């Protein structure tokens, strides 16, 4: 009598290993995508906060309209689009700061700026 594994047993073991490795790879891809998304969100929030702070620091009442500015962060070329709109009260303006990476939205912040 010979000891050893049959070809069917070896093939089943290989199939189980392949399924386990595929599942592990997919899990790692999900973790990597989530980490990248979180990093982009943190950097996007920095850009939006900086743009809104800059608007407040100037002390000027913002004009209605749109503007776009570059915000390079950590090797990423983020773009900040500021949208200034009037409100029902003429002493206030609504300012939306939208941050984009490669044309895809990352974060959006909204604030109200008053006449100084």
Question: Which SS3 state, helix, strand or coil, does residue 105 take?
Answer: strand
State the pLDDT at residue 24.
93
CA distance 3 to 5: 7
Question: Which SS3 state, helix, strand or coil, does residue 87 take?
Answer: coil
Question: Which SS3 state, helix, strand or coil, does residue 16 take?
Answer: helix
Instruction: Provide the residue-wise pLDDT of the chain in tens; the chain has 116 residues.
Output: 677 888 999 999 999 999 999 999 999 999 999 999 999 999 999 999 999 999 888 888 999 999 999 999 999 999 999 999 999 999 999 999 999 999 999 999 999 998 86
> For the domain with range 7-114, which CATH number is right: 3.40.50.1100, 2.40.100.10, 3.30.1300.30, 1.10.1040.10?
3.30.1300.30
State the pLDDT at residue 1.
64
Residue indicated by tokens 């950590």: 74
Q: Domain coordinates of the chain in residue numbers?
A: 7-114
What sign results for the dihedral spanned by CA atoms 35, 100, 76, 113?
negative
Whole-model pTM: value is 0.75
- DSSP strand pairing (76-86 vs 92-101): antiparallel
């Amino acid at each position: 009598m010979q000891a050893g594994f049959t070809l069917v047993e070896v093939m089943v073991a290989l199939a189980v290993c392949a399924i386990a490795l595929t599942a592990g790879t997919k899990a790692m891809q999900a973790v990597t995508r989530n980490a990248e998304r979180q990093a982009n969100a943190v950097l996007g929030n920095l850009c939006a906060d900086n743009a809104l702070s800059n608007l407040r620091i100037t002390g000027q009442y913002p004009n209605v309209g749109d503007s776009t500015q570059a915000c390079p962060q950590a090797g990423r070329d983020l773009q900040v689009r500021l949208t200034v709109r009037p409100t029902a009260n003429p002493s206030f303006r609504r300012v939306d700061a939208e941050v984009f990476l490669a044309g895809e939205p990352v974060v959006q912040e909204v604030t109200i700026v008053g006449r100084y």
